[in-house]
């Protein structure tokens, strides 16, 4: 798949503009704070219905305006699909596919498959478990509509259960009603655990080879799924922790507390790895994600690189560049020297200045 065009109106610092992309490598360069990352954010919005930088849709609207409109055309298997997103300050977000409004967000998920890689992702290994859960959720939601459904339902039930925990005074008051929420939490939670387990199993097979290549065969990387609770023991753990949950007003058991461990030659690099090891593992993870998506959807995803090359050493730069030959890639950077040095075959080059994108020739 590849993106053909992106149209922005009153989006962030863009008043209006249309970008026509190459099927190969597209580079947007310019000084900082000119709007390069805003383009990637708008693409990500069309793929997932949300920004990867903020939870507030209103922040996407250009200062002083009441609404923003983003339109994207993606080609999948020689068929064009149009995605339209309207965001208004005082109304619900509207999404249409081929000019037909959608009723449920899962109709959008997977239509455009993107993988985004930014300098922040290089900290994925050393950051907290929330970031690693987010990584799993984003990818699985694009790959699997059922996962998206169960994740949505799980968090709705979790919110209801937590509200109940916060508004009771003692164990006896809650004992009869909590089971209603527990049964639903377990039902959706087990499906989430099953799908995460399968996803990480498949990813492990891919990442071991990639990481071995990047490290020159000196390191063996293994990912371990750290489940907060087993599927068989879910109900019992909820019951055991109920008094504690009442005390703190939140649910302490479930896949919303899951994590991943990264072992390099048997050592947990979240705690004991060098920055170089952590960055190499993060790069391996992103490259493995590309391969997994290709295997799952029998197509190529769109890769978004947000000023990441400058954060990598020469060897890692070259390895990353080697993967770009067969997929559409949209890159932001302040200068193009690294790409020229790595002999990247550039499809289109754009200069971005204060919310204006100009084809550079």
**Is 249 assigned to a binding site?**
no
204 labelled ligand-binding: no
Alpha-carbon gap, residue 41 to 12, rounded angstroms: 10
Contact 258, 225 (CB under 8 A): yes
- Over 9-71, what HEC string results? EEECCEEEEEEECCCCEEEEECCCCCCHHHHHHHHHHHHHCCCCCCCCHHHHECCCCCEEEEE
Tell whether residue 42 is among the known ligand binding residues. Answer: no
> Is 37 a known ligand-binding residue?
yes
Q: Any binding-site annotation on 36?
A: yes
Coil, helix or strand at residue 346:
strand
- Cβ–Cβ contacts within 10 Å for residue 172, how many? 8
CA 303/CA 60 separation, integer angstroms = 22
Residue 89 pairs with which residues in a beta bridge?
none
67 marked as part of a ligand binding site: no
Alpha helices by DSSP H, the chain:
36-48, 129-143, 145-166, 171-174, 178-214, 234-240, 242-248, 269-272, 275-297, 314-322, 337-341
CA 234 → CA 177, 182, 227, distances in Å? 18, 9, 11
Q: Is 32 annotated as a binding residue?
A: yes
Known binding-site positions: 30-37
Known binding-site positions for ATP: 30-37
């Amino acid at each position: 798949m590849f993106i053909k065009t992106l149209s922005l109106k009153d989006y962030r610092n863009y008043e209006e503009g249309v970008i026509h992309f190459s099927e190969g490598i597209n580079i947007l360069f310019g000084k900082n704070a000119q709007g390069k990352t805003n383009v990637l954010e708008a693409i990500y919005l069309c793929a997932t219905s949300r920004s990867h930088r903020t939870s507030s849709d209103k922040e996407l609207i250009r200062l002083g305006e009441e609404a923003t409109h983003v339109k994207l055309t993606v080609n999948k298997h020689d068929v064009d699909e149009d995605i339209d997103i309207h965001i208004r300050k005082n109304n619900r977000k509207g999404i249409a596919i081929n000019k037909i409004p959608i009723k449920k967000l899962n109709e959008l998920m997977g239509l455009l498959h993107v993988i985004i890689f930014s300098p922040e992702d290089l900290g994925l290994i050393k950051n907290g478990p929330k970031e690693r859960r987010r990584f799993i959720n984003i990818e699985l939601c694009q790959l699997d509509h059922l996962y998206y459904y169960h994740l949505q339902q799980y968090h709705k039930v979790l919110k209801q259960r937590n509200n109940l925990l916060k508004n009771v005074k003692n164990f006896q008051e809650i004992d009869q009603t909590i089971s209603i929420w527990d049964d639903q939490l377990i039902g959706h939670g087990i499906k989430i655990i099953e799908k995460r387990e399968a996803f990480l199993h498949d990813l492990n097979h891919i990442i071991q080879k990639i990481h071995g290549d990047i490290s020159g065969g000196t390191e063996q990387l293994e990912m371990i799924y750290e489940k907060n609770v087993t599927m068989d023991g879910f109900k019992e753990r909820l019951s055991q922790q109920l008094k504690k949950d009442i005390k703190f007003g939140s649910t302490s058991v479930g896949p919303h507390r899951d994590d991943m461990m990264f072992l390099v030659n048997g050592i947990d690099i979240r705690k004991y790895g060098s920055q170089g090891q952590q960055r190499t593992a993060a790069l391996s993870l992103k490259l493995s994600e590309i391969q997994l998506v290709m295997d799952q959807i029998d197509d190529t995803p769109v890769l978004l690189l947000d000023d990441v090359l400058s954060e990598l050493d020469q060897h890692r730069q070259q390895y990353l560049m080697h993967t770009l030959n067969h997929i559409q890639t949209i890159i932001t950077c302040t200068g193009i020297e690294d790409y020229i040095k790595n002999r990247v075959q550039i499809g289109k080059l754009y200069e971005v200045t204060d919310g204006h994108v100009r084809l550079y020739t």
